Chain A
Amino acid sequence: MTTPDGTSSADLPSVRLGEASQRDRRWTLASLFSWVVALIFFAPIAWIAMSAFKTTGQILSVPPLFIFQPTLENFTEMFQDPKIPKFFFNSVLLSVGSVLIAIAVSFLAAYSFSRFKPPGTDFLMFLLLSTRFVPAAAFVIPFFQLFGILNFRNTYVGLIIFYVMFSVPFSVWILKGFIDGVSQRFDETGLVNGASRAHVIFRVVLPQVKPGLVAAFVFNIIFVWNEFLFNFQLGGTDTNSIPVALFTALYQGGAVNWTYVSALGTAYVLPLAVLIYFFQKYLLVGMTFGTVRGEV
């Protein structure tokens, strides 16, 4: 259904379509099975989360312990190491910082692509997407040489710039889709009424693509948050994020430090789990890089 009437299809309906309101809910065979499936998929993570509250001996116990005296020691120990809070700080700074910048620049570009269709738009959109589809290892070598020359290695600036580029392709795709969904009549009306182009962009179009901004934000955060290879190679002691911490401090006394892995791994996935709970309606648009929109 097209929307020439000017209704912005970028506004995702505020009612959660896939989810009935409270009183309509009921247990059916399908819903029971759905829950079982969800729990099966979550079980491995739940087990690791449980392990985070165990001692090493309890984790390695045969048979596995389902009932045990939980301990917070792994977490207190983890956060007592001054490096861990620093790694968390780096993870947050790098992901939030770079994604915000990426969204800002992507929004401007997406607006231009959507409204002016400058020559080469399609080619550039294509390139953006395809470079993001190459295995990361392909680009590591040129990047570390480039970063050496620019003196970007192990600096926040360098890594943020890198992650901005990492986030731009999907952001442009997501936002262009949303801006396309805002009728040009808004722009036309604004301009006819004497508003400046800047006013149209920031006051008229921007507020209408908020869902797109949120989707782009949430999904790029997930990608940057989980990124390992580039942070490992381009970052350093000052700028490493949690995946690198998880990897480099994996062993202790020669053996895999399972309490560390489970405590840090759990603490690290928790924010993302919360994020997808609250922003579930943006999941689809995010995971398809803005090429499919809608709700589940």
Chain B
Amino acid sequence: MSRKFMINSHESGITAQLKGRRRGFTAIATVGIAASLVLAGCSSGSDDASSGGDNPLTGSTATNMQGKSLTLGYSRIGGWPPSAAPEAMFPAFQAYAKENYGYDVDLTFAEAPFGELFQKIAPTLAAGSQEFNIMIVDSQWLGALAEPGWIVPADKIYDLNPELDIEPFSSLVASTYQVYPDGSGQRWGFPQMPDTQGVFLRLDMLEDPANQAAFEAEYGKPLPTTYEEYEEIMMDDFVEIVAFFNDQDNGMYGTALQYSKDYDFFSCAYYPFAYSRGGEIWNPDTNQIYGVLNSDVNAAAMEEFVGLKKYQPASFATQGIGEVVDLFTTSQAFSAFQWLAIGKFMIAPELEGKVLAIPLPKFEGPDGKPKIVGAMGGQPWVVNSFNDDDHMRVSVDFLKWWYLPETQDSFILENGGLPWSKEGLNNETYLNSAPYVRPFKYMLEEGRSVDFWHVPEYAQMLAVQQEAWNGYAAGTVSSAADALEYTAAKQQEILFNSGRSEEPPPEGTASLTLQ
């Protein structure tokens, strides 16, 4: 019996390469030229919708879509329930379109997690594709979508359909989901799901008389148990409560926040600690970051934020939205700092009636008064500017349907959605529909939340700070000041290189690393 092993060798070597080079180069050059010709010939542009009587941006009329049948493509954030709701609610739109405009419409969608959805849709838009006619996107992407002309200016649609222009509850709605560039008043997005931050607490633990007695004995003051008490609570007082319930030996952590490197998880969880104490992340007028972000206030805030790790699992540095949901719903954490939009999933069936949702606790502001400035979350709808006329009509029809009172009822009361209009947030039925609506409204008041940059460079800038800040949380970066210094320099470099800021980064920024 013999075993045979064969080695197929191949002469490669320099000589072979040299032999092939001449021929190869000619072929390569030919193909290259051909390819660039194709590229040049295909530069696409979308015609501006004519402002005539039958402008597709007006949506369908009773006749122009009669009998047609088409598919609406939408993109959504994977695993983010508010952006999945339109799919569940779609049959109602099908009926609406059939009844009012006489066409049949189906739905397709693509989804990807927060960090990757933009990676998914941007190439399609860059290719001029209408694969996604209408998109749920994160608010920070507005600039990246608007600048290359990939999305239809919302103002154009509002002009033709004034009924869509609903009065928002506060200016935060427009500044977060609609306007780009910041402060310009030009609108690009339509609010889909508004979102602010809050804290979820275990009401059953708060209401346990044994706990109340023990707390009073330990801290010499009563344990707050009602929403009203918590609405005005200071962070220091709140941390005492967290410490009180922190019982790690019995598998109960005091709280859970997000420190993950993924997407904007660390950043958004950290921002309130900085904002509320008067910290700033940039100067939006001059686009200056270096010298603004790397401040003592911000460093102290980051130390405080990361310092809360002692009430959390040792693996806190990988906690993202999902990990926090898991900790809270499996009764491993007494409290959790979380986006209120996900309230429906924080209150798992077995926790029904046992959860209190509150706004973020307050900090001592720069003027010494209690202050809270949270980070805005949430997503707008945007409309693809490469849509053909029919799909443009359907997209506008869809928006009209989406903002109908009965649609919003279904979104908010049955699908875990949140209202954002003045009328919606004064609607008692909505306010009482779930424990997280009231704190949401509180945080949406003027000045209580703020969104960060919307510039196209956001992803690059975000990646830098997520890496550095998560590094500080995990211990690969020695201090918060170092993490902020690095971030500020790198972000300044990004904005300087893109021509958005005239301020150059400090010497040697390019070769700077986190080590």
Contact = CB atoms under 8 A, between A and B. Distances in A.
Interface of A: 1, 9, 13, 15, 17, 57, 60, 62, 119-120, 122-127, 144-149, 153-154, 173, 176-177, 180-181, 232-233, 236-238, 240, 247-257, 290-295
Contacts of B131: 153-154, 236-237
A149 B42 contact: yes
Interface string B1-27: 111111111111100110111011000
Q: Which 8 residue pairs are nearest across A and B when measured between Cβ atoms? A: A251-B79, A123-B20, A148-B127, A177-B8, A122-B16, A253-B345, A294-B5, A255-B322
B325 interface: yes
Contacts of A291: 7-10
Interface residues of B, number: 56
18 contacts: A17-B1, A119-B20, A122-B12, A122-B20, A123-B17, A144-B127, A173-B8, A176-B8, A180-B8, A236-B124, A237-B73, A238-B108, A247-B113, A251-B80, A254-B321, A255-B321, A255-B323, A256-B323
Nearest to B38: A149
A9 B4 contact: yes
A176 B5 CA distance: 16
B370 interface: no
Given A177-B8, A291-B8, A153 B113 contact: no
Contacts of B119: 233
Contacts of A254: 79-81, 321-322, 325, 342, 345
B5 A145 contact: no
Given A154-B131, A237-B73, A253 B79 contact: yes
A174 to B, nearest CB: 9
B19 A293 contact: no
B113 A251 contact: yes
A148 B126 contact: yes
A257 B79 contact: yes
B111 interface: yes
Which of B11, B79, B126 counts the most A-chain CB atoms under 10 A from its CB? B79
Contacts of B20: 119-120, 122-124
B456 interface: no
B128 interface: yes
B205 interface: no
B374 to A, nearest CB: 18
B8 A253 contact: no
A250 B1 contact: no
B325 A125 contact: no
A122 B11 contact: yes
B78 A144 contact: no
A233 B126 CA distance: 13
B29 interface: no
B78 A251 contact: yes
A238 to B, nearest CB: 8
Contacts of A248: 78, 110-113, 116, 120
B19 A255 contact: no
Contacts of B5: 292-294
B251 interface: yes
Given A57-B330, A120-B23, A148-B128, 19 more contacts: A13-B4, A15-B1, A119-B23, A123-B16, A123-B20, A145-B127, A153-B123, A180-B8, A232-B112, A237-B108, A247-B113, A248-B110, A248-B113, A251-B78, A254-B321, A255-B323, A255-B345, A291-B10, A292-B5
A293 B6 CA distance: 5
B39 interface: yes
B251 A62 contact: yes
A126 B78 contact: no
A20 to B, nearest CB: 11
B129 interface: yes
A177 B111 contact: no
A153 B124 CA distance: 8
B326 interface: yes
B6 A120 contact: no
B257 to A, nearest CB: 14
A237 B10 contact: no
Contacts of A123: 12, 16-17, 19-21, 24
B244 interface: no
A175 to B, nearest CB: 10
Interface in B313-327: 321-323, 325-326
A81 to B, nearest CB: 12
B403 interface: no
Contact of B113 (A119, A250, A293): A250
Given A236-B131, A237-B110, A250-B113, A290 B8 contact: yes
A292 B7 CA distance: 5
Interface string B31-53: 00001001100100000000000
B342 A253 contact: yes
Contacts of B6: 9, 177, 181, 292-294
B26 to A, nearest CB: 12
Contacts of B13: 122
Nearest to A113: B10
A260 to B, nearest CB: 10
A122 B131 CA distance: 42
A153 B42 CA distance: 15
A210 to B, nearest CB: 16
B248 to A, nearest CB: 13
Nearest to A179: B8
A149 B39 contact: yes
Contacts of B80: 251, 254
A247 B119 CA distance: 13
B109 interface: yes
B12 A126 contact: yes
Interface in B101-119: 108-113, 116, 119
Contacts of A144: 123, 126-127
Interface string B322-337: 1101100110000000
A170 B345 CA distance: 47
Contacts of B127: 144-145, 147-149, 153
A254 B325 CA distance: 7
A125 B4 CA distance: 24
B32 to A, nearest CB: 12
A79 B21 CA distance: 52
Interface string B461-499: 000000000000000000000000000000000000000
A123 B22 CA distance: 11
B190 to A, nearest CB: 22
Contact of B79 (A17, A249, A290): A249
